[in-house]
């Protein structure tokens, strides 16, 4: 069982076999200018992505849904989702960003006002600063608690789900509070909302997620089938990305400040963090010259792959130099730290500029 509120997934292969996620693999060859996360196999799995490919190819309507739960500071692992949204926006997708304040309340005990503040000053600000245009006509950012269409839809959908099913999927027990139990139904509604009449009717919809969120996808797909006669929903598609390793070598988490680079960190802080991150280097320089390093076990290399190095050629050259022992970790970390610092120098200005825009985003009515 995967629990979306606490599971740390590491065995991706087992997961794909067990839950029927298909490899993303060769699909990237069918995409014009694929995202680097696809190119580098960080996006490793998918369900029904073919219909998204078709929409992109034909230029027909499709939507992407990516919720945010405002429950802590955004770190560089979360940036991956925004990077994907930016890519989909360029491909012409309608963008839906539900802010999961109801889930934050039921699963984390965060009150609605605090969620709203956090969503504006942390999440929406970062999304804008990273380059997502939230002011476009086909972008719908809303708080779950303030979207009446969403609440109605969740209520209608919940008629065809029972406690035994929720227990089997999420492990809920008799002591789980009802609000927590209802939160996944709100998320199901978030995913299906773009296909309602108010939002333009049935259309291919993709949800880019980490594999810990797959229970919501499976439940949504099942429910979409159950309501075929009433809504004619298309089963939503999904993609799955690998999580970033924390700088300390275990899971990157907002609750472990040493493991993460936060988007609100200063350029100096991030430089320091990269320089002290766990690498795949050897015990001594002599050993490293002789045996080479292990880029696959290196969090610095991972930062370059996920975020910093745009050139495939340069990445491969570095991988080779690391493996054959011609570059040492000190020099390599220094280069990566400087790239990260440069990124954050520009980004922290953009964050300041984005704050004013971010405040206005939630003043608008949900589009549907
Ligand atoms: S040389 Fe670079 S990529 Fe290789 S292990 Fe050291 S820090 Fe990592």
Mean pLDDT of 120-135: 97
Tell me if 301 CB under 6 Å of ligand 1. Answer: yes
- Return the SS3 of 284: coil
The yes-or-no verdict on residue 10 having pLDDT over 80 is: no
Residue 32 to residue 91: CA distance in whole angstroms? 10
CA atoms within 13 A on the CB side of 195: 25
Q: What are the tens digits of pLDDT across the range 153-170? A: 999 999 999 999 999 999
> In the prediction, which pLDDT does 253 show?
86
* Overall fold of domain 257-351: Tyrosyl-Transfer RNA Synthetase (1.10.240)
What is the pLDDT confidence band of residue 17, given thresholds at 50, 70 and 90? confident
Residue 6 confidence class, pLDDT cut points 50, 70, 90: low
Q: How many whole angstroms from 75 Cα to the centroid of ligand 1?
A: 22
CB 340 within 8 A of CB 274: yes
| Mutate which of 294, 303, 327 for ligand 1 pocket (most atoms within 8 A of beta carbon) | 327
**Domain 12-243 in this protein, CATH class:** alpha beta
> Residue 321 above 60 pLDDT?
yes
Atom from ligand 1 closest to the CA of residue 280: 5
Task: Quickly state the pLDDT bin for 254 (edges 50, 70, 90).
Answer: confident
User: Hey, what are 171's tokens?
Assistant: 């492990």
pLDDT digits (tens, 9 = 90+) for 39-67: 999 999 999 999 999 999 999 999 999 99
Q: Are 251 and 76 in contact (CB under 8 A)?
A: no
Q: Best substitution site from 275, 282, 300, 334 to test ligand 1's pocket, by max atoms within 8 Å of Cβ?
A: 300
pLDDT at 4 over 90: no
- Quote the mean pLDDT of the chain: 94
Ligand 1 centroid vs 276 CA: distance in angstroms? Answer: 12
Q: Compute the distance from residue 61 Cα to the ligand 1 centre, in Å.
A: 43
Does residue 206 sit in helix, strand or coil?
strand
- pLDDT of 80 over the 80 cut: yes
Q: Does position 72 have pLDDT exceeding 90, yes or no?
A: no
Query: How many angstroms separate the CA atoms of 345 and 330, rounded?
Result: 22
Separation of CA 140 and ligand 1 centre (Å):
41
Q: What is the DSSP string of 45-114?
A: EEESTHHHHHHHHHT---EEE--B--SS--BHHHHHHHHHHHHHHHTT-EEEEEE-HHHHHHHH---HHH
CB 202 within 8 A of CB 234: yes
For residue 329, which atom of ligand 1 is closest to its CA?
Answer: 6
Q: Is 139 helix (H, G, I), strand (E, B) or coil?
A: strand
Q: Rounded to whole angstroms, how far apart are CA atoms 350 and 339?
A: 17
Q: Residue 262 phi/psi, 5° resolution?
A: -85, 150
Q: How far is CA 122 from the centre of its chain?
A: 15
The whole-angstrom separation of Cα 76 and Cα 156 is 37
Residue to probe by mutation, ligand 1, list 247, 273, 278, 279, most atoms within 8 Å of CB? 279
| CB of 300 sitting under 6 A from ligand 1 | yes
pLDDT at 134 over 60: yes
Question: Does the Cβ of 293 fall within 6 Å of ligand 1?
Answer: yes
Under 8 Å between Cβ of 191 and 66: no
Confidence of residue 1 (pLDDT cuts 50, 70, 90): low
Nearest ligand 1 atom to the CA of 292 is: 4
Give the model's pLDDT for residue 3: 57
The rounded distance, in Å, linking the Cα atoms of 20 and 16 is 5
CB 266 within 8 A of CB 344: yes
Tokens, residue 367: 């589009």
322 lines ligand 1 (CB under 6 A): yes
Sheet holding 22-23, edge to edge: 22-23, 43-47, 237-241, 205-209, 63-65, 94-99, 139-143
Domain residues of the chain, as ranges? 12-243, 257-351
Tokens standing for residue 7: 């599971």
Q: What's the angle, vertex CA 310, arms to CA 307 and CA 316, rounded to 5?
A: 100
> Which phi and psi (to 5°) does residue 139 adopt?
-115, 130
What is the share, in percent, of the chain residues with pLDDT greater than 90?
A: 89
172: left (phi over 0), alpha (psi -120 to 50) or beta: beta
pLDDT at residue 368, rounded to an integer:
95
């Amino acid at each position: 069982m995967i629990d979306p509120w606490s599971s740390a997934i590491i065995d991706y292969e087992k997961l794909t076999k067990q839950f029927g996620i298909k490899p993303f693999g060769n699909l990237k060859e069918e995409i014009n200018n694929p995202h680097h996360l696809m190119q580098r196999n960080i996006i490793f799995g998918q369900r029904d992505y073919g219909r998204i490919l078709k929409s992109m190819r034909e230029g027909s309507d499709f939507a992407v849904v990516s919720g945010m739960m405002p429950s802590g500071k955004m770190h560089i692992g979360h940036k991956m989702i925004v990077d994907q949204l930016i890519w989909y926006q360029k491909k012409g997708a309608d963008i839906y960003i539900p802010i999961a304040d109801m889930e934050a309340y039921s699963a984390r005990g965060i009150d609605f006002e605090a969620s709203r503040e956090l969503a504006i000053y942390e999440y929406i600000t970062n999304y804008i600063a990273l380059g997502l245009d939230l002011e476009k006509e086909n972008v719908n950012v809303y708080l779950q608690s303030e979207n009446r269409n969403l609440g109605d839809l969740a209520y209608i959908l919940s008629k065809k789900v029972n406690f035994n099913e929720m227990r089997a999927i999420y492990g809920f027990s008799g002591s789980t509070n009802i609000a927590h139990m209802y939160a996944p139904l709100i998320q199901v509604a978030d995913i299906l909302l773009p296909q309602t009449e108010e939002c333009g009717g049935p259309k291919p919809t993709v949800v880019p997620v980490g594999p810990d969120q797959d229970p919501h996808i499976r439940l949504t797909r099942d429910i979409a089938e159950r309501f075929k006669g009433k809504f004619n929903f298309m089963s939503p598609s999904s993609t799955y990305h690998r999580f970033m390793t924390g700088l300390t070598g275990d899971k990157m988490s907002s609750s472990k400040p040493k493991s993460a680079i936060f988007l609100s960190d200063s350029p100096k802080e991030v430089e320091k963090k990269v320089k002290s991150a766990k690498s795949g280097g050897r015990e001594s320089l002599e050993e490293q010259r002789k045996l080479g390093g292990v880029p696959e076990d290196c969090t610095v290399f991972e930062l370059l792959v996920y975020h910093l190095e745009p050139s495939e050629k340069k990445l491969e050259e570095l991988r080779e130099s690391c493996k054959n022992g011609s570059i040492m970790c000190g020099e390599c970390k220094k280069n990566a730290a400087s790239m990260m610092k440069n990124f954050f120098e520009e980004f922290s200005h953009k964050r300041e500029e984005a704050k004013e825009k971010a405040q206005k985003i939630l003043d608008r009515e949900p589009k549907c």
